[in-house]
Amino acid sequence: MTDQPLVVFDGVVKRFGGFVAVDKLDLDIRKGEFLAIMGSSGCGKTTTLRMLAGLEAPTEGEIRLGGKRINDLPTWRRDTPMVWQSLALFPFLTVRENVEFSLRMRGVERTERRKRVDTWLERMQIAEFADRNVAHLSGGQRQRVALARSLVTEPEILLLDEPLSALDAHLKVRMQTVLSNLQRELGITFVYVTHSQSEAFSMADRVVIMSRGRVEQIGNAQEIYRTPRTRFVAEFLGSSNIFAGNVSNVSSHAVTISTPAGEFEVAPNAARPLAKGDKATFVVSDDRMHLSNSPPVNGLNRLETSVVGEEFVGATAIIHLEGAERIEIKAQKSHDELGELDLEPGTKVWVSWSPEATHILPRE
């Protein structure tokens, strides 16, 4: 991957009647990177992908691919293949015929066509199904056919619109590995639209989070998870505990924020200097919350809560708690840690966290 942009969205707006689906989008997609675009339904992520594919035309602004404006370039001249959520395979064709279809449309000679198709069938580990009708394949096998069909033309960029959403959980994990390995081996730019945080954070070099047609934050998984830029991002992630209040004291090493649940010390944020009386919101990730049956004595921020319930998430569990003024708190813990605590619903438990585990939102 290089810092050189392959795709540039420059002030792009897309309207459908009076509805603004994408609002003044400025986005550079680097050559050779795996970029994921996330957001809730209606945020503009799929519209962004469709504009890059040539399936929608921007209302305003400019899209450039390889330095050339492509706003009015037909889809078939862009070389931006897409793997659809529905896969869009031809059910009346065999695996081989599906994969070679785009090569036939480009007029690739038969011998060369067969050679390239065979290479990709082997690469995607579906050569044994070459003459089988795609309707007789499993979901994971059809997914590999769709990838082979898109990549057999050796494009510079591949667009993927929630391609794993129809797969079972174990197949999703396997296909995530396939996609990640392919992208690294080929050095092709992947632009991947998804609702799934686990998919985006596990595969992408950078993640774009959108809301109401605008970009809320761009960064790698660690940056977004630990340092969300807006309240929307913190709420969208679902792993952040959010506290809002007013600054009651500022020192060289800490900021004290008075909230309905109590006063808490937080680490200063250089991106947003605060003064006494300012409104401020800070977040603490659920995996940085400590739990104890008695009040902590180590000077950490602390809050008495009651247990609401427990959510099993594999190797860990999310404990849902309620504090003063009905504030909702989440703490992520291993099952071994939980075994040492009495956490029946209604049980009183102390939550504590370090000021260094906090993050003041740069933007309200």
The residue among 238, 270, 274 whose CA lies nearest residue 257 is 274
- Whole-model pTM: value is 0.90
Please indicate, yes or no, whether residues 144 and 287 belong to a single structural domain of this protein: no
Distance separating alpha carbons of residues 189 and 207, to the nearest angstrom: 14
In degrees, to the nearest 5, what angle opens at C-alpha 185 toward C-alphas 183 and 191?
15
pLDDT per residue rounded down to tens, the chain (364 residues): 677 899 999 999 999 999 999 999 999 999 999 999 999 989 999 999 999 999 999 999 999 999 999 999 998 888 899 888 777 888 889 999 999 998 988 889 999 999 999 999 999 999 999 999 998 888 888 888 989 999 998 899 999 998 888 778 888 888 899 899 999 999 999 999 998 898 999 999 999 999 999 999 999 999 999 999 999 999 999 889 999 999 999 998 899 999 999 999 999 887 788 999 999 999 999 999 999 988 887 778 999 999 999 999 888 999 999 998 899 999 999 988 888 888 889 999 999 999 999 999 987 6
Please indicate, yes or no, whether residues 217 and 240 belong to a single structural domain of this protein: no
Q: Looking at 226, 251, 283, which one is the last position of a domain?
A: 226
In the block, residue with structure tokens 């494009």:
155
Helix or strand holding residue 234 (H, E): helix 231-237
Please indicate, yes or no, whether residues 217 and 262 belong to a single structural domain of this protein: no
Distance separating alpha carbons of residues 108 and 119, to the nearest angstrom: 15
Residue 356 belongs to domain with CATH number: 2.40.50.100
Please indicate, yes or no, whether residues 64 and 124 belong to a single structural domain of this protein: yes
Please indicate, yes or no, whether residues 185 and 265 belong to a single structural domain of this protein: no
Please indicate, yes or no, whether residues 164 and 276 belong to a single structural domain of this protein: no
Residue 139 belongs to domain with CATH number: 3.40.50.300
Q: Looking at 226, 250, 270, which one is the last position of a domain?
A: 226
Residue-level pLDDT at 58: 97
Residue-level pLDDT at 338: 86
Q: How many domains, in total, are found in the chain? A: 2
Please indicate, yes or no, whether residues 265 and 203 belong to a single structural domain of this protein: no
Please indicate, yes or no, whether residues 163 and 235 belong to a single structural domain of this protein: no
Please indicate, yes or no, whether residues 70 and 52 belong to a single structural domain of this protein: yes
Residues 6+ apart with CB under 8 A from 146: 83, 84, 87, 88, 89, 163
First to last CA, the chain: 33
The residue among 59, 6, 62 whose CA lies nearest residue 32 is 6
The string of DSSP letters for 85-103 reads TT----TTSBHHHHHHHHH
Neighbours of 28 (CB within 10 A): 16
User: What range does the domain containing 261 cover?
Assistant: 231-360
Please indicate, yes or no, whether residues 117 and 235 belong to a single structural domain of this protein: no
Please indicate, yes or no, whether residues 244 and 275 belong to a single structural domain of this protein: yes
Residue 147: what residue type? L
Q: Looking at 173, 201, 226, which one is the last position of a domain?
A: 226
Tell me whether strands 262-266 and 279-285 are parallel, antiparallel or unpaired: unpaired
Residue 254: what residue type? A
Please indicate, yes or no, whether residues 217 and 243 belong to a single structural domain of this protein: no
CB 351 within 8 Å of CB 288: no
